[in-house]
Structure 1
Amino acid sequence: MTEKESTGKSTKVARPSKKQAKKKRRIWPWVVLAFLLVFVALPAGLFAYAYSQYSVPEPKDLANNQVSTIYAGDNQTQLARLVPPEGNRTHVQLDEIPEYVQDSVLAAEDRDFWDNSGFSFTGLGRAVVGKVTGNEDAGGGSTITQQYVKNTLVGNEYSYVRKIRELIYSVKMTNEWDKKDILNAYLNTVYFGRNAYGIQAASNAYFDKDAKELTPEEGAMLAGLIQSPSGLDPRVNQEASEDRWNYVLDGLVGMGDLTQEQRDGMVFPETRDPAEYSAYTEAPGANGHIKDQVIRELEEVGITENEVSTGGLRITTTIDMNVQNNTIQAVDDQMAPLQEDARAASVTIDPKTGAVRGYFGGHDSNGWDYANAPLQTGSTFKIMALAAALQQGIGLDTNYSSAPYQLPGSDLVNNVGSGCGVCSLREATKQSLNTSFLRLQADLKHGTQDTADMAHALGVAKSLPGIDKTLTEKGKQPFEGIVLGQYQSRPLDMATAMSTLANQGVWHNPHFVQRVENAAGDVLYEHPDDGGERRVSSNVANNVIEAMEPVAAWSNGALAGGRTSAAKTGTTQMGDTGNNKDAWMVGATPQLATAVWVGTADNTSAIFDQYGGIMYGAGAPTKIWKAVLDNSLANAEFQNFPAAYPMGFGNTGAGTAAPAYDPSWDSGAEDTQNYETPVEEAAPEEETKPAQPQKKPESPKPAPSPQRGNNGNNNQPPAQPEAPSLDDLLGPDGDLADLLG
């Protein structure tokens, strides 16, 4: 029954009037319009405005801090790596990365990369589906471009604002950059775990090879790591890593970059043990001291340590790995049987260029660099006085007495072992006679100052950390003991001085750096190939060399096959104990100059030979020196030093005014030690007694290099062998300031 039937009344349904219906129809477009304005036009406008305001840097301006690498002279052997604070990264060009590695990264992270506009709806959709279904292999919603923008421009803060900025930058970068540039930049910055940023560092971290050598299997494994670098490391979770690897390979098949047959034949690759790899290993062993020298040297030419540490520089040094390996081997062989605290240093320089070919300051890369440490030099310093004397016209045939020598005060200096009575400077050099050289030094126009000035001229640093002025007595004229090695110089200095003499008096700045290139391959610095600077006449240098030629054989260190050499041993005695604390051998061939020091870790205790006896220069230092040069020059031609022409006339020096020779002078009685001058002790080589035990010096650094001046003539004719005298080289205040800058 209807309502009408039950009530007897009709019921009407209310209908909107035409006016109301029309009004509703007019409201609906406005609602749509408002919706479009709020949710489409306004965001689009804001996006367009932001798009116009954002500026995307050029690819080169987004270069991230990168690892700098120091190489030996062969430009292949790595000596050191300098890792920036935020991680291990080395830039490589896209064409150095195999295409199958590039494709693997796209299969893992952005399969629509070549077609999308920096933002991928399909990628986002795939990520959403993956989240819903629990498929962790589906990947994230961010494109490669977005990931790169996040890593380099907007950061990874979790916020909508950051995400919008990321989207704007990604779209604009896609419109302004070449896609290859984006991919290249991404592959050089993305994190792969093991503190490896970029494909090159990752290739080394996981497979110990360059990126260009990766196999397809290895490339796919690395690509799979990007999603979760630490969790997908095969050494952490082998199963998860293999699952992700399979996902990448399947993607390559789906993209048409890999056939199913190829895919079926692939085997998951083995990775290196993380324990054998350290992203922060900068310079193992002896290389650490080479690294320090390189950094200091580059600072002198205007390349800061920060630039070296973060700039992705390729630094080629002068180190010859043949010489370097022979140096380390020689040191290890000779130091093995010695006391636990025995230490050694060895520096080898090319006399013709000043290039450091071998450098050993210790095996502790972060420890004390003995090759760069100020140490008492013993009788090796006699060559400085000899050069000064020759410069002043006192020839090698000049005779000097080896009688005891009275120093100012009450000290009487003797020679221990056989003296010569009265003999030439040639013989005095070979026998290293203290008293003869003290008399020679007394004959110099300015005495001990001339010895110091000649040492500086040949290459001994004028200042060192902790020593404001070297080779002086509190800033004044040095004591007589300078000729016997009383004052401190470095093994690097002594190798430099020998190089200058071996190069006929032409000094070259000792250097470790040959060339520096940035990540783009541009040369930032190259050591100038100049002619050096003449410091003494060629004939003075040649005469010193001639006097030193018999010494190696005299000290049981003659080079193999009778190869010509010039050498000088030296030792420093430890107080009145009769023991030695420093033992030296310095010398050269025409091709290489080498200085060797052997002592103890603190340089205040005695150094003994393998039998517990006193260490002399003819012991471990000479054996190291000989092994370095014999092995380094094994395949080199035999060369002779230029002939020396007599300087002055054979005569009797003023220092021979002494009583007739008495054999008792050679009895070896110990001399007194009231005066602060070292004294020779040993034969056939020598030992020098210091004024007092020396404390371990401050951390050594190279002194500032002298400025270069005009190049000298390296081939003077015999009729005009003399360069300007030492007096001419001296400034008005009596030092070598004008010469050394």
Structure 2
Amino acid sequence: MGRAEERRARQRGGRRAAPKRRRSSGAGGKSGIRRLFTWKKILGTFFGLCLLGMGSFIVLYLVIDIPEGNPEAELQSNVYKYSDGSIMTRTGDRNREIVDLAKVPKEVQRTFVAAENKTFYKDSGVDLKGTARGVLNTLSGKGAQGGSTITQQYVKNYYLSQEQTVTRKLKELVISLKLDREKSKDYILAGYINTSYYGRGAYGIQAAAQAYYRVDAEDLTVEQGAYLAALLQAPNQYDWAIASETGKKLVQERWNYVLDNMVEEDWLSRADRQGMEFPVPEEPKTSAGMGGQNGYLVDAANYEIRKQLVAQGAAEDMEQAKALLDLGGYTVTLNVDRKKQAELEKAVKAKLTSKLDPDEREVDADVQAGAVSVDPKTGGVVAMYGGVDYVKHFTNNATRDDYQPASTFKPVILAAAVDQDAETQDGVPITANTIYDGTSKRPVVDQGRKVGFAPPNEDDVDYDDITVQEAMNKSVNSVFAQMGVDVGMDRVMKVAGDLGMNTEGDQAVPAQTLGSMGASPLEMAGVYATLDNHGKKVTPAVVKSVEHKDRTVEFPEPIGEQVISREAADTVTSVLTGVVDDGTAKKSVRDNPLRDGQTVAGKTGTSDNNKSAWFSGYTPELVTSVGLFGEDPKTHAQVPMYKAGGVDYRVNGGGFPAEIWAAYTFGVMDEISEFDLETKQGNAVKPSTTPTQSQSPTQSPTEEETTEAPETEEPTTEAPTTEAPETESPTQSPSQSPSNSPSSEPPTDGQSTEPENPLFPDGDRQER
């Protein structure tokens, strides 16, 4: 039988095949697993997954771009410093001040690298093992564990968020790789140390340096830098001020670890390392905020910055400039001297606010004080008092210009007269010794024609013939009203503007001779500083310098050109020494025991209805203008200040303002100095004697002069307070003519009883 037939026979069952051997179920299962998990399949699957992962990563790399920075990571505060560089306050929601890496010492930079990522300068920006460990920890629910490079930490801080998800980790990896290729290591390191949180509310190395060591980042030592670098691992746990004993031990270990790594990387010598001691940080310091005087100073500085941003074209208007400023990142150094600022605040408290008691006298709640002190040689505002507290009274009394400067304007008239070589109606050159008619309410004339203006003197006192010097000493209204017309009111107002007053919109009318326009202590300090600076324009400057990483803000020089002749300025200074030595400020200034022989020039002023009182005065080294303003605390309307602070009647410029000025000026005076004056009348005009034909002697009661009793009075007539009563009878001055005297007591409102002159704006008559 052939093979084919045999095969067919078997198929028909003619021959049975030999039975097959049964295998155990165990043997059969093992064989199935082997078939399912062969080495080829395992390797194939592994490589497949690798290829899939690589492909996915390539896709992610192509899809994910470096995003825009997180705005929160760029938020900065504005930092305001005193002239010596010490921090006054910060503003903004985030305590951060971004600094260039170049400002951080190289050794301090390396402390962060040694602490976090020794291979930073060599790696590609990522730690694959650490990232993989972080992903696995995240998947297993173990939280944020695993290492990251400095680049990755910076990416997390600046571009991403702090959430712990696989997606965020993968994004961090991709962005870090790209960032490392596109940016320098210095760029990344700078971003890292400027965005990291160091505790104590400090973001970035500059804020941290100030918070822990009271220094700028550029002044950090290696030891201090190592501590800040160690902090980043656990800012709150490692803050020495609040750390437990365990926390202190851990941060010291971390600090040693950082320095040892620096030695290992040859960034620090072993000898230097051995000599280093742990730098215990300063105690936490509460932010000064905007309370007290800080808010006034910040507002004044911000106004100057905004003006310059507009002037430079960085902003279209003041609102846009404010928006730029509010973005933060500005380091503003003021000209304000820390010592002088403290002394000015102290003087106001000692001489004024400590004497105000609204519970006892309602009027005391209406008194507001403002003051500005300027260095006449530099133009810098070295001190400013804006009010009792910025968070209680937002209006800055030092810069407000809604109150009248009153008789502190009179020196401007004299300056214009001398500068213009003006003459009286009789053709006599106007000098300190020129004689004027000081009769109260004498009609002002121009070329023989009455101009319709006849201002009364204080308490309607007549002086008849009186020199300009004595008229300034006694602040005689009728003399300076006529002098203004003699000079020409247009010229007077021009000189006022040249000296620093804002005269825009002010009419050049005779009434302005009595200071009826508005002015601020800042303006008046500038006017008197220009006089002190021999006629060279001084524009008071609050800001010394501004730094910002993205823009430059430049300021004009505070000292400008010659706006009036030196002779004119020096003549006014010479005359104003008489106001102090023989006039309305002699009790508060001349007789002050702290004066110690210091030469002083100044002028008092008190406006109509006692709504404001002033003293603007200067030494060769310092100019200060002090103003008191009556303001209703509810309506903010201007109100009188009669009997405020316990004075018997009127709040005079020779009272509280002059007292504040003297306490401050003589308190900060370093040495005695004298004016260097070039005038035809010599250095410091001596007090003039009253001409014999005068009907009113030098001791007639005057507005500011009544801060002390006349020398011819009996001691019993002297007031018990610093402000003497305004109720002396004219009979106390024996040579005063009854026919030209006011009534035995001044009017209750401190003004003349005559009808008001219709040419006087708002019905106001200016007092001295």
Are 2:382 and 1:357 aligned? yes
The equivalent of 1:551 in structure 2 is 579
Question: What are the equivalent positions in structure 2 for 1:614-653 lying under 5 Å apart?
Answer: 614-635=650-671, 637-644=673-680
The equivalent of 1:193 in structure 2 is 199
Distance 2:298 2:42 in 1: 72
* Alignment match of 2:50 (pick from 40, 56, 74): 40
Distance 1:595 1:412, change over 3 A: closer
Q: Secondary structure at the match of 1:583?
A: strand
1:295 maps to a residue whose letter is N
Q: Would you say the 8 A contact 1:351–1:592 is kept in 2?
A: yes
CA deviation string 1:441-494 (max 9, x = no partner): 344445xx554443223211135xxxxx3x34xxxx54x442223332111111
Are 2:526 and 1:491 aligned? no
Provide the aligned length of Structure 1 versus Structure 2.
631
CA deviation string 1:165-212 (max 9, x = no partner): 221121233344444543332122111233211233234334545557
Q: Secondary structure at the match of 2:581?
A: helix
* Alignment match of 2:496 (pick from 448, 455, 477): 455
Q: Secondary structure at the match of 1:88?
A: coil
Distance 1:167 1:176, change over 3 A: same
Question: What are the equivalent positions in structure 2 for 1:326-405 lying under 5 Å apart?
Answer: 326-340=343-357, 341=365, 342-366=367-391, 367-374=394-401, 375-390=403-418, 391=420, 392-394=422-424, 395-396=430-431, 397-405=433-441
* Alignment match of 2:101 (pick from 93, 107, 114): 93
The equivalent of 1:290 in structure 2 is 297
Distance 2:384 2:111 in 1: 45
Q: Secondary structure at the match of 1:89?
A: coil
Question: What are the equivalent positions in structure 2 for 1:508-523 lying under 5 Å apart?
Answer: 508-519=538-549
Farther-moved stretch of structure 1 (320-329 vs 224-233): 224-233
Greater RCO (CA < 8 Å, at least 6 residues apart): 1
Are 2:534 and 1:504 aligned? yes
Distance 1:678 1:376, change over 3 A: farther
* Alignment match of 2:126 (pick from 100, 119, 122): 119
Question: What are the equivalent positions in structure 2 for 1:250-329 lying under 5 Å apart?
Answer: 251-252=257-258, 255=261, 276-278=285-287, 281-283=288-290, 285-302=292-309, 304-310=321-327, 312-329=329-346
Q: Would you say the 8 A contact 1:80–1:288 is kept in 2?
A: no
User: Offset at 1:72?
Assistant: 3.1
Q: Once superposed, what is the RMSD of the aligned Cα atoms?
A: 4.8
Distance 1:339 1:142, change over 3 A: same
Distance 1:261 1:525 in 2: 45
The equivalent of 2:318 in structure 1 is none
* Alignment match of 1:67 (pick from 77, 80, 83): 77
User: Offset at 1:221?
Assistant: 6.1
Distance 1:616 1:510 in 2: 26
The equivalent of 1:536 in structure 2 is 564
Structure of higher CA gyration radius: 2
1:288 maps to a residue whose letter is G
Q: Would you say the 8 A contact 1:564–1:640 is kept in 2?
A: no
Distance 2:326 2:524 in 1: 31
1:381 maps to a residue whose letter is F
User: Offset at 1:142?
Assistant: 3.2
The equivalent of 1:704 in structure 2 is none
Distance 2:376 2:442 in 1: 38
Normalising to structure 1: TM-score of the pair? 0.71
Distance 1:509 1:90, change over 3 A: same
Question: What are the equivalent positions in structure 2 for 1:410-489 lying under 5 Å apart?
Answer: 413-416=456-459, 419-446=462-489, 450-462=491-503, 469=505, 471-472=506-507, 478=509, 480-489=510-519
Distance 1:261 1:426 in 2: 75
Distance 1:260 1:298, change over 3 A: closer
Normalising to structure 2: TM-score of the pair? 0.69
Distance 1:633 1:260 in 2: 51
Question: What are the equivalent positions in structure 2 for 1:680-699 lying under 5 Å apart?
Answer: 690=764
Distance 1:406 1:453 in 2: 26
1:354 maps to a residue whose letter is G
Q: Would you say the 8 A contact 1:92–1:200 is kept in 2?
A: no
2:459 maps to a residue whose letter is V
Q: Would you say the 8 A contact 2:611–2:640 is kept in 1?
A: yes
Distance 2:256 2:377 in 1: 61
1:553 maps to a residue whose letter is D
1:193 maps to a residue whose letter is G
User: Offset at 1:332?
Assistant: 2.7
Distance 1:256 1:133 in 2: 35
Q: Would you say the 8 A contact 1:139–1:227 is kept in 2?
A: no
Q: Secondary structure at the match of 1:164?
A: helix
Distance 1:239 1:92 in 2: 36
Are 2:742 and 1:667 aligned? yes
Distance 1:320 1:248, change over 3 A: closer
1:427 maps to a residue whose letter is E
Are 2:19 and 1:10 aligned? yes
Q: Would you say the 8 A contact 1:79–1:283 is kept in 2?
A: no
Distance 2:247 2:138 in 1: 19
CA deviation string 1:600-644 (max 9, x = no partner): 454524164754333221112112223333344423643322224
User: Offset at 1:427?
Assistant: 1.6
- Stretches of structure 2 lacking an aligned partner (at least 5 in a row): 1-15, 24-31, 315-320, 358-364, 425-429, 444-450, 633-637, 683-693, 697-735
Q: Would you say the 8 A contact 1:348–1:359 is kept in 2?
A: yes
Farther-moved stretch of structure 1 (90-99 vs 388-397): 90-99
User: Offset at 1:91?
Assistant: 2.5
CA deviation string 1:333-362 (max 9, x = no partner): 212442144432221223344332332222
The equivalent of 1:701 in structure 2 is none
Distance 1:230 1:536 in 2: 62
Distance 2:559 2:547 in 1: 24
Farther-moved stretch of structure 1 (219-228 vs 533-542): 219-228
Q: Secondary structure at the match of 2:612?
A: strand
Distance 1:42 1:110 in 2: 30
CA deviation string 1:141-183 (max 9, x = no partner): 4332212112212344665444322211212333444445433
